[in-house]
């Protein structure tokens, strides 16, 4: 897969889900040495070349009320 400018080799499974564009599993996150920055809402990934990928904005049910 390609995320930002990084090309990543990882296993994939295609599922029928209209809500999610991409889900990365824990094993994939670990193997890619990913850092989840909750303050900046970014996923930092890549073993040598680092790429910062913003989280998809979601609205929680509590924020709608």
Q: What is the DSSP string of the chain?
A: -EETTEE----------SS-S----HHHHHHTT-EEETTTTEEEE-SSS-EEEEPPP---HHHH-
pLDDT for 39: 92
pLDDT for 65: 46
Positions of the chain with pLDDT under 50: 61, 64-65
Q: Where are the domains of the chain?
A: 1-8+32-64
**pTM: predicted TM-score of the whole model, two decimal places:** 0.59
């Amino acid at each position: 897969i390609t995320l930002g400018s990084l090309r990543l080799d990882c296993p994939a499974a295609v599922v029928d889900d209209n809500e999610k564009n991409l889900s990365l599993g824990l094993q994939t996150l670990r193997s890619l040495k990913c850092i989840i920055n909750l303050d900046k809402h970014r996923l930092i990934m890549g073993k040598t070349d680092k790429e910062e990928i913003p989280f998809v904005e979601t609205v929680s049910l509590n924020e709608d009320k």
